[in-house]
C-alpha cells in the first residue's frame, strides 16, 4: 500500500482538517491538547474544528502513516506528542500546489436578508446589530495579534506569509463591518443611510 494514498486521493484540491493539522504539526510538534489550544488561538480563526474532531483526525493521520507519536520516557499524565512523517509533508505539499476554484459565499444572514424582502424585516435589525458587534470584536482581536506578532519591519518569509493570512481576516472583518453598517442604515431609513459611515 502506498503510504498516505488514501489521503492523497481524498483531500488534495479541497480544504480539510487533516491539512490544517499537518500544517500545525509541521510548525511545531504538539500533543492533541496543545493542538486544540493552538486551533483555538490561531488556525481556528479560518478553519474551525471541535476538539473531538481534531483528536479523531489525529488518529486517522497516524493510521495512514502521515504522522507518528514521538518516543517519550514513560511519565504518568504526559501527553503524546505528534510529528509529521515524510509522507505527511508530501501530502501537504501536493495539496498546497493543487488547483481549487474559489468557493461561493454561503452565509445564512445574506439569505435571511433576501427572505426579509418577502416576509418583512421584523426581528432582523437586532440580529444585524449583534453581527456588527461580533465583527468589531473579531477585528479588534486580529489587529491586536497583528501588532503583537507582526509589528517588526524585518519579518522573515514564513512570517510574511502568515501575516498575509491575518491580513485576509482583517480585510474580511472590515468588509462585514462596512456592509452591516450600511445595512443597518438602510433599515433605519433613507436619512440615516445618507450619513452612514462604518465604525
From CA 23, how far away is CA 8, in angstroms rounded? 15
- What's the whole-number average pLDDT of the chain? 84
What's the gap between Cα 120 and its chain centre?
34
Residue 50 · residue 87 · CB < 8 Å? no
Q: pLDDT tens digits, residue range 57-77?
A: 999 999 999 999 988 755 655
Lookup result for grid cell 499524565: 77
CATH, domain range 5-96? 1.10.10.10
Domain spans in the chain, listed from the N-terminal domain onward: 5-96, 108-194
pLDDT at 192 over 90: no
Q: pLDDT tens digits, residue range 105-163?
A: 888 999 999 999 899 888 899 999 999 999 999 999 999 999 988 887 777 878 888 89
State the pLDDT at residue 44.
76
Q: pLDDT tens digits, residue range 89-114?
A: 999 999 988 888 888 888 899 999 99
Residue 112 · residue 124 · CB < 8 Å? yes
Work out the end-to-end distance of the chain between its first and last CA atoms, rounded to an integer number of angstroms: 57
pLDDT at 196 over 90: no
CA distances from residue 149 to 37, 87, 153, 163 in whole angstroms, order as listed: 18, 31, 11, 9
Rg for the chain, CA atoms, rounded: 21
* pTM score: 0.73
Mean pLDDT, residues 16-43 taken together: 89
Mean pLDDT, residues 9-31 taken together: 78
Q: pLDDT tens digits, residue range 159-183?
A: 888 899 899 999 999 999 999 999 9
Residue 162 · residue 117 · CB < 8 Å? no
Amino acid at each position: 500500500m502506498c503510504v498516505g494514498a488514501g489521503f492523497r486521493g481524498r483531500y488534495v484540491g479541497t480544504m480539510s482538517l487533516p491539512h490544517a493539522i499537518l500544517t500545525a504539526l509541521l510548525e511545531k510538534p504538539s500533543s492533541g491538547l496543545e493542538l486544540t489550544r493552538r486551533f483555538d488561538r490561531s488556525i481556528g480563526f479560518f478553519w474551525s474544528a471541535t476538539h473531538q474532531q481534531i483528536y479523531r483526525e489525529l488518529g486517522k493521520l497516524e493510521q495512514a502513516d502521515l504522522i507518528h507519536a514521538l518516543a517519550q520516557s514513560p511519565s504518568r499524565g504526559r501527553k503524546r506528542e505528534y510529528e509529521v512523517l515524510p509522507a505527511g509533508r508530501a501530502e501537504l505539499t501536493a495539496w498546497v500546489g493543487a488547483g481549487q476554484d474559489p468557493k461561493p459565499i454561503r452565509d445564512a444572514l445574506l439569505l435571511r436578508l433576501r427572505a426579509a424582502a418577502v416576509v418583512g424585516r421584523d426581528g432582523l435589525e437586532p440580529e444585524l446589530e449583534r453581527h456588527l458587534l461580533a465583527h468589531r470584536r473579531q477585528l479588534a482581536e486580529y489587529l491586536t495579534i497583528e501588532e503583537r506578532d507582526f509589528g517588526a519591519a524585518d519579518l522573515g518569509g514564513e512570517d510574511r506569509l502568515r501575516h498575509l493570512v491575518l491580513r485576509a481576516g482583517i480585510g474580511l472583518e472590515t468588509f462585514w463591518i462596512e456592509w452591516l453598517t450600511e445595512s443597518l442604515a438602510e433599515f433605519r431609513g433613507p436619512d440615516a443611510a445618507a450619513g452612514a459611515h462604518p465604525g
